[in-house]
Amino acid sequence: MRALKNRFAALTGRVSPVVWAISTEGFLTRLGFSMVGFVLPLYALSLGMSLSEVGLLYALRTATVFLVKPLMGRAADRWGKKPTLIVAVILRCLMGLLFVFAYLPWHLYLLRILHGAMTAARDPSAAALIAEHGGKKRMASSYAWYATARDVGRSIGFGFAGLLVQATGSYRAVFLVAFLTSCAALFTVFRYVREDSEPEAIAAPERPAEPLAYRTLLPYAGFALLIAGSAEMMLGLFPVIATQYAGMTEAQAGMAASLSTIAILIAGPLFGWLSDRTDRRVVLGVRSCANTVSSLLYILLPTFGGFVAARLMDDTGKAAFKPTWGAVLAEVSAADPARRARTITFIDSAYTLGEMAAPLLAAALLSGFGLAAMLGVRILLALATEVHSVRMFHKTP
């Protein structure tokens, strides 16, 4: 046990303070807004919205991210990553407060647009800051701590949201907590995140005259699009499927989602460590495998235990994918440090496109053909992703 503690201290001690600060911000904001994400489809249904409209609600936020993110990538490169991150967290505070007063469907649509603008401003800045401060030999591990903090916040938020709604019978109590956690995250960014201007100053005289080489980035963008297409089909639909198809209460659905914290705490740092020391192509393949197995579990075991197992598998795949993918983006963007945020944004926008299309496709399949058909398509997309991964990454050293 002492050896394990020493090993953990050695691993965490090498993580940059900036990475810790961004991870803390990610935990706090994801804690609050995973609660919003959990209750939002249920709240929308209570306002008389249809299942297809719920899918549109999630797609609208993602569409905004897709449209706004390239502008935010340029802003982060030009005016600084920390200022752009601060603007994003301020928007998140405002959004959390406005949700408390949302009681009509169009209010939710408007807030989802604001949510998309906030995410578009936040993600490129956070990813670029970690790429600068993560350290070349431990890049995946740095992204792992960041992703683990966010995913743990998400899982805890799901569980707390279900219990809070069950106890109070009020969705607005959840929205208020989201506002308070966002305010705490804002303080963290102001106080502890710093941005080194030195890398930009060195890179500026060496900045190439030609435009960003988008063609070389297309294979990575294609992979991101496919992986999002299968992974994000469950986005926003888990509480609906758990309550309407598996017969769970809101509290049970939240607990099923929250129990995946166990997998995240173990898998995130473990796969980050493995990615820094082994073949990253193998670690990336875990995501497609997890999507396939979890989909089968959702179909074959529509019970509380089955959904817990499926959710554990899903989040294990996410925990394996995120730090490894972050390290890949950091390596690709390192070729042009002055335009690091724009490079990351271009590739990540393809993931956003898949994230936008997936809930619409899932909601349409769920409404028209049922749960088995929707998850069957998810399995096919996961297999197609793995084929693309083998073809693309095996061509790179």
User: Above pLDDT 70, what percent of the chain?
Assistant: 88
| Environment class of 207 (CB within 10 Å of its CB; exposed 0-12, middle 13-18, buried 19+) | exposed
pLDDT in tens, 159-183: 788 888 888 888 888 888 888 888 8
What's the mean pLDDT in 359-377?
85
pLDDT category at 196 given cuts 50, 70, 90 is: low
Q: Which two tokens stand for residue 93?
A: 């505070």
pLDDT at 394: 62
The per-residue DSSP string of 238-252 comes to HHHHHHHTS---HHH
- The mean predicted confidence, pLDDT, of the chain is 79
Place of tokens 């997890």: 290
pLDDT at 360: 80
pLDDT at 202: 38
pLDDT at 213: 64
Checking if the pLDDT of 90 tops 80, the result is yes
Rounded Cα gap, residues 115 and 145, in angstroms: 24
Residues comprising the chain, all counted: 397
In a domain, 353, yes or no: yes
pLDDT at 1: 40
Q: Which two tokens stand for residue 353?
A: 């496109």
What's the mean pLDDT in 364-377?
86
Rounded Cα gap, residues 36 and 280, in angstroms: 33
| Cα distances (Å, whole numbers) of residue 12 to 24, 149, 215 | 14, 13, 37
The DSSP H or E segment spanning 91 is helix 81-99
Which range, 267-276, 336-345, 366-375, has the best average confidence (pLDDT)?
Answer: 366-375
pLDDT at 74: 82
- Integer Rg of the chain from CA: 20
Least confident of 4-18, 43-57, 370-384: 4-18
**3-state secondary structure at position 8:** helix
Checking if the pLDDT of 212 tops 70, the result is no
Checking if the pLDDT of 208 tops 70, the result is no
Checking if the pLDDT of 243 tops 50, the result is yes
In a domain, 357, yes or no: yes
pLDDT at 199: 42
E-assigned strand segments in the chain: none
Domain range for residue 347? Answer: 13-195+214-393
In a domain, 387, yes or no: yes
E-assigned strand segments in 117-253: none
Positive or negative, the Cα torsion across 370, 376, 381, 385?
positive
Q: Residue 243 is part of a domain; what is its CATH number?
A: 1.20.1250.20
What's the mean pLDDT in 334-346?
78
What's the mean pLDDT in 18-31?
86
Q: Which two tokens stand for residue 33?
A: 């807004």
In a domain, 285, yes or no: yes
Q: Is the pTM of this model over 0.85?
A: no
What's the mean pLDDT in 320-337?
79
In a domain, 208, yes or no: no
In a domain, 303, yes or no: yes
**3-state secondary structure at position 110:** helix
In a domain, 7, yes or no: no
In a domain, 171, yes or no: yes
Under 8 Å between Cβ of 263 and 322 = no
pLDDT at 11: 45
pLDDT at 201: 38
pLDDT category at 210 given cuts 50, 70, 90 is: low
pLDDT at 94: 85
Under 8 Å between Cβ of 89 and 188 = no
Number of domains the chain is built from: 1
pLDDT in tens, 274-309: 777 777 677 777 888 888 888 898 888 888 888 888
